[in-house]
Amino acid sequence: MTDELTPETPAEEEQPIKQRKNGLYPGVSDELAANMKSGWADTELRELEPIEQAPNAARRRAALSARFPGERLVIPAGNLKTRSNDTEYSFRASTEYVYLTGDQTDDSVLVLEPRADAADGHEETIYRLPRSNRENGEFWLNGMGELWVGRRHSLAESEALLGVPCKDIRELADVLKEATGPVRVVRGHDAGIETALTDKITAERDEELRVFLSEARAVKDAFEIGELQKAVDSTVRGFEDVVKVLDKAEATSERYIEGTFFLRARVEGNDVGYGSICAAGPHATTLHWVRNNGQVRSGDLLLLDAGVETNTLYTADVTRTLPINGRYSDLQRKIYDAVYEAQEAGIAAVKPGAAFRDFHDASQRVLTEKLVEWGLVEGPVERVLELGLQRRWTLHGTGHMLGLDVHDCAAARTEAYVNGTLEPGMVLTVEPGLYFQADDLTVPEEYRGIGVRIEDDLLVTEDGNRNLSAALPRRSDEVEAWMAGLTK
């Protein structure tokens, strides 16, 4: 035992993959060490049912196996990331790992190992940290021990929950070292795994794996659609929470809005799916305003773009632009109603068989017509659209796929996504906006500092679409009535 005021560590060969310090720590007497080994109840859970999405995840792994026969596929969940010194950011497992397992445990890795005859598919294994060893003191002397970070599932429990054989992660380094034949890994989540495979992988082949998993996620199954609806429903409640505390936000800052929405996200879900954009006044013209440290003023607009992420990690992505005092001014309403009209046109273009670009084009056309009508850009509309001149004020694309990632399927090939066709089961946002920067000298002064975006989450159905976020009013008079009802 050392006298140093640092954590004790178990013997070298028994250390888990990562040591974590826990601040100051006194030495341990032999008697205490012996005492801590025993007197603990058997808490093994023996009657576990598989998680709800286990069959869905199994189907996804089967599709992956069929796409890459005869190749070893490595999909890490990722590791904890240091925030500062010995504290970590809250962990969020990689989207690819969650999609293929339904699990979210840090330091886990899914491996698909080809059977001797490639036609027989793959053996599936999840490598992960087992329960902490009590004999060697790891459970209380190591920062990754369960006494510090909480009980983990045993390997047997994990197998029962996930329907995949589980092994100790500490065996994986040797397995990968000895692996022969083609290997692919999903990069960017676990540097240790990538280093262990460095002589066996290429960026190009790994990218093909990432692209496949991105495209595979485009059409959602019934479980995923249910989760996305839950995410949206919580988000709707979060928006209501915000409206109810706008007076408190006025007395403090945009942070009050961020904190209020986060409370709903944390209580009903896992987290927010992305940094909440709580943009009051001219901040609404900054597309990803997440500093949220500005003043909230009566008479200004609040652009709130926020989404709850469920406990299964599916996220909503919703925007409303609200009059902070409950009523749009004439100019705010004119701009808002134009964006609403553009969104209506976009939503009408979301249907199976339509090109993905159609809803963007439909929205852009309406916005362009308005900009020409208001004299902000010289027509005709066709010329403006052809040269893209409206983009000075429309700034971004009109929507994107939504799922485990807010910008889901981002690695998909252009032909499969942006130049692709909508199919039933796809979920996407429709989110046109108009933004007049505070320093834009090309528009009349009264427009400057106004930003409006309206964003909803749409499921493509067999015969059109369903607006998952329809519970949140969009039309300007309905927004006002909804706000009045929440604040009276």
User: CB nearest ligand GLY: which residue?
Assistant: 305
Q: Shortest approach of ligand GLY to residue 46 CB, angstroms?
A: 44
Q: Which positions from 222 through 281 interact with ligand GLY, judged by CB under 6 A?
A: 274
Pick the closer one to ligand GLY by CB: 71 or 305.
305
456 binds ligand GLY (CB under 6 A): no
The listed partner (Mn ion, ligand GLY, none) that binds 106, CB under 5 to 8 Å by sort, is: none
The listed partner (Mn ion, ligand GLY, none) that binds 190, CB under 5 to 8 Å by sort, is: none
Q: Shortest approach of ligand GLY to residue 254 CB, angstroms?
A: 15
Amino acid at 417: Y
Would you call 173 helix, strand, or coil by DSSP?
helix
Contact 285, 436 (CB under 8 A): yes
- Torsion 21-148-171-313 (CA) sign: negative
Q: Shortest approach of ligand GLY to residue 464 CB, angstroms?
A: 23
Q: Which positions from 387 through 406 interact with ligand GLY, judged by CB under 6 A?
A: 406
Q: How far is C-alpha 437 from the geometric centre of its chain's CA atoms?
A: 29
457 binds ligand GLY (CB under 6 A): no
Contact 277, 289 (CB under 8 A): yes
Q: Measured between alpha carbons, how far is 40 from 43 in angstroms, rounded to an integer? A: 9
Q: How far is C-alpha 327 from the geometric centre of its chain's CA atoms?
A: 33
DSSP structure class, residue 28: -
Q: Shortest approach of ligand GLY to residue 431 CB, angstroms?
A: 6
Q: x/- binding map, residues 297-316, to Mn ion, per CB under 5 A?
A: --------x-----------
Pick the closer one to Mn ion by CB: 387 or 470.
470
Would you call 234 helix, strand, or coil by DSSP?
helix
The listed partner (ligand GLY, Mn ion, none) that binds 274, CB under 5 to 8 Å by sort, is: ligand GLY
CA distances (Å), 112 to each of 171, 416, 445, in order? 15, 25, 60
Strands 166-168 and 87-88: unpaired
Half-sphere exposure of residue 237: CA atoms within 13 angstroms, side-chain side: 14
Pick the closer one to ligand GLY by CB: 376 or 401.
401
Q: Among residues 107, 300, 309, 431, which is the contact residue for ligand GLY, using CB under 6 A?
A: 431
Amino acid at 144: M
455 binds ligand GLY (CB under 6 A): yes
Pick the closer one to ligand GLY by CB: 166 or 468.
468
Identify which range of 12-20, 85-93, 197-205, 454-462 contacts Mn ion by CB under 5 A.
454-462
- Torsion 64-68-69-71 (CA) sign: negative
305 binds ligand GLY (CB under 6 A): yes
Q: Shortest approach of ligand GLY to residue 215 CB, angstroms?
A: 20
CA distances (Å), 155 to each of 39, 77, 105, 159, 164, in order? 22, 16, 12, 6, 10
Q: Among residues 317, 344, 405, 408, which is the contact residue for Mn ion, using CB under 5 A?
A: 317
Q: Which positions from 338 through 377 interact with Mn ion, judged by CB under 5 A?
A: none
Q: x/- binding map, residues 312-351, to ligand GLY, per CB under 6 A?
A: -----x----------------------------------
Pick the closer one to Mn ion by CB: 185 or 428.
428
Q: Which CB contacts under 8 angstroms, 24+ apart, belong to 146-152?
A: 148/20, 148/22, 151/43, 152/105
Q: Shortest approach of Mn ion to residue 233 CB, angstroms?
A: 17
Total residues at the site for ligand GLY (CB under 6 A)?
6
Pick the closer one to ligand GLY by CB: 91 or 274.
274
Identify which range of 71-79, 228-236, 249-257, 455-463 contacts Mn ion by CB under 5 A.
455-463
Contact 332, 395 (CB under 8 A): no
Letter string b/e over residues 134-173, b meaning 16 or more CB atoms within 10 A of that residue's CB? bebbbbbbbbbbbbebeebbebebbbbbbbbebbebeebe
For Cα atoms 270, 272, 276, give the angle at the middle one, nearest 5 degrees.
165
95 binds Mn ion (CB under 5 A): no
Contact 399, 430 (CB under 8 A): yes
Pick the closer one to Mn ion by CB: 266 or 407.
407
Q: Shortest approach of Mn ion to residue 422 CB, angstroms?
A: 17
Pick the closer one to ligand GLY by CB: 53 or 234.
234
Given the rule CB under 6 A, which residues bind ligand GLY? 274, 305, 317, 406, 431, 455
